[in-house]
Amino acid sequence: MVNFIQNNILQVLIIASGLSALIYALLNSRLILNQSEGNEKMKSIAAAISEGAVSYLKSQYIVVAVVAAVIFLILFKLFGALTATAFLLGGTASALASFLGMMVAVRSNARTAEKAREGLNSALRFAFKGGSVTGLLVAGFGILIVAAFYLLTKNMNALIALGFGGSLISVFARLGGGIYTKAADVGADLVGKVEKGIPEDDPRNPAVIADLVGDNVGDCAGMAADLFETYVATLVAAMLLTKLIIPQFEPAMLLPLAIGAISILSSILGTFFVRLPKSGYIMGALYKGLIAAAAITLILAYPLIAWVMNGNGLYSTANLYLSVVLGVLLTAGLVLLTEYYTSKGFPSVSSIADASQRGHGTNIIAGLAVSLKSTFAPVILISLTIWIAYALAGLYGIALAATAMLSLTGVVVAVDSFGPITDNAGGIAEMSGLPEDVRKVTDALDAVGNTTKAITKSYAIGSAALAAMVLFAAYTQEFATRGLRLDFSLNDPKVIIGLFLGASLPYLFAAFCMEAVGKAAGSIVEEVRRQFREIPGLMDGTGRPQYGQAVTIVTQAALKQMIIPALLPVVSPIVIAVLLGPIALGGLLLGVILTGLFLAISMTTGGAAWDNAKKYIEAGNYGGKGSFAHQAAVTGDTVGDPYKDTAGPAINPMIKVVNIVALLLAGFLI
């Protein structure tokens, strides 16, 4: 009777928290839309960005729908209607969260530029409010879809398929959006900045609207889909592992969802703490929100764990709580490390800027050194977290640490979406000819936005490492419960083969991503050159660029180039499973996790450092804009762009897709 009442209360708490996230997001949306978009020119530019973003996502979803339909039919044939339906629900929820969040972000950009007239604090708080809509939509949809599906069906296989649906959408969103945004960015920079010597976001550049569109489809919609699937996959993996480890204690199944529930409430409260300190330190304002959300979560977590896990017979409340603390501390550690390697106020970025004085080659060398160096400390933190959490509560401790880390998704995505909103605000301010004091505000926010985007990518990758560990553990436990204990001894050649093949997959995947950006960027470069060559008066400002043509070209190129890399993580585990069996497949999973983690951290952090080194020079250091150092920094940024916004972030969902497909295959391999 006690457990029955407890479960009912937990279910109400979980559902209510998800609904509260959606309601709060709706209220913030209404507040945002009630604010002024500025003058007619600002409205026109914002409308063009919105139109381009919607057009691209519609085209992307048509392609994804075709792939999803094929997978749906396969799942229906192999697992039945429930599992296939779960797959569609996961994909639909991911697409919906990212689309709605992006639309609010798109509508926040011109309004943020207008708020910049009131000063830095006003613009900062407004941009964060716009980002919070995306963050809470992701968390709200994530917890509601997992909780509702589990409570209605209690079918774990179908729940895995739900996670697969979210992951598939995420891979396409990350890849397609990343290819789009970086192809447009590279095309705009190479022709505009380097060849024509015009400023960034100059209205004479035909690629400038496509570039601003890309910020939204890549950094906003793409990141939302990425963290949605990470959030859902982590919850599903934690619940599956719980069922395998503690099958006799049902409340433990709901604990990951309950931690997510209290964290949503914490994230909502955390948004009220975002205020600019007297020092003017912008990251400090955003840190206030993160710290407040984390602190409230930790305060509420102990009594929650004590109540839910009372009488579990395996783990003490203190040990379970400390596992949650570890997940939160890992988040804090990754945030601080990322800022150290990517912020203009620290040595890594200034060293790249300094190297730029000596040429393009030295800029690239310095940037590569920072990207490689940036992997060591985060991996130490992740390893310590896994070690201590396992010592505290075994695999369940790791699952709780991963859940606690992902529980802050709402406020972390808000911080991330702050980046494309402020970037677009700066572009609109430049194109609209707003006063210099407004541009100074938007430039300051944009520079911080680069760091926030890097922080959330590192957060997503770090959480992916823990989530992948939990998924791998669930894969091995699935076999153990069916009487087959997998032995991953290095004496077995199948293990070695699996490890080698798995370790190579992130490199092959990243190579496809980089090639895709290069090919798509080539198309937009030729188009921008054509317009400068053929449109009379374009360079002196009397001619009007064909923005729509540039948007169309980069859209078609991005959609074409995303197909093959997106299918790689789906097909690879199937091939290995069929040819070499479960042992080799397990080795493949380990290899993907290992190299994927290093490669993703290196690419995302290094790319952001290159970008901020360029902005450091543009702020007046080492000769400022137009100097030799600036030209070298633009080259470094061009290399870093597909690193940080396409290949690096896309590895995150790629890792989990491989693991989830392996989980679905487990039943056929015994």
CA distance 148 to 232: 12
Q: What is the pLDDT of residues 149-185, one digit of tens each?
A: 888 888 877 888 888 888 788 888 878 877 887 788 7
Q: Which range, of 127-141, 283-297, 427-441, 495-509, averages the lowest pLDDT?
A: 427-441
List the one residue out of 364, 287, 318, 428 whose CA is nearest residue 609.
Answer: 364
| Residues 175 and 562 sit within 8 Å (Cβ to Cβ) | yes
Q: Residue written as tokens 């790629």?
A: 654
Provide the pLDDT for residue 3. 64
For the chain, give the mean pLDDT: 84
At residue 457 the predicted structure's pLDDT band, cuts being 50, 70 and 90, is confident
| Portion of the chain with pLDDT greater than 70, in percent | 98
Q: Measuring CA to CA, how many Å separate 492 from each of 385, 428, 575, 591?
A: 29, 59, 19, 15
Tell me what pLDDT residue 154 has. Answer: 82
CA distance 253 to 276: 40
Weakest mean pLDDT among 159-173, 453-467, 590-604: 453-467
Q: Measure CA of the first residue to CA of the last residue in the chain; give whole Å.
A: 38
Residues 82-123: pLDDT tens digits?
888 988 988 888 888 878 877 887 888 888 888 888 888 888
Over 90: is that where the pLDDT of 369 sits? yes
**Do the beta carbons of residue 408 and residue 328 sit within 8 Å?**
yes
Q: In this model, does residue 363 exceed pLDDT 80? A: yes
**Tens of pLDDT, residues 329-355:** 998 888 888 888 888 778 889 899 999
pLDDT attached to residue 126: 87
The pLDDT score that the predictor gives to residue 389 is 92
Is residue 77 predicted with pLDDT exceeding 80? yes
What's residue 669's pLDDT? 67
Nearest alpha-carbon partner for 61 in 138, 162, 173: 173
Please state, for a pLDDT cut of 90, what percent of the chain lies above it. Answer: 13
Q: How confident is the model at residue 238 (pLDDT cuts 50, 70, 90)?
A: confident
Look-up of token digits 């939990």 = 470
Residue bearing the bigger pLDDT, 631 or 182: 631
Say if CB 417 and CB 135 are below 8 A apart: yes
Predicted confidence (pLDDT) at residue 450 exceeds the cutoff of 60: yes
Greater model confidence, 200 or 382: 382
Q: What is the pLDDT of residue 137?
A: 87
- Report pTM: 0.83
Residues 6+ away with beta carbon under 8 Å from 279: none
Q: How many residues does the chain have?
A: 670
Quick check: 438 pLDDT over 90?
A: no
Q: Is the pLDDT of residue 321 over 90?
A: yes
Give 185: exposed, middle or buried? Use CB within 10 Å, 0-12, 13-18, 19+. buried
Lowest mean pLDDT among 302-306, 352-356, 515-519: 515-519
Residue 368's pLDDT is 93
How confident is the model over 385-397, as pLDDT tens digits? 989 999 998 888 8
Q: Is the pLDDT of residue 2 over 60?
A: no
Res. 410 pLDDT band, cuts 50 70 90: confident
Query: Is residue 660 pLDDT above 80, yes or no?
Result: yes
Cβ atoms of residues 531 and 546 within 8 Å: yes
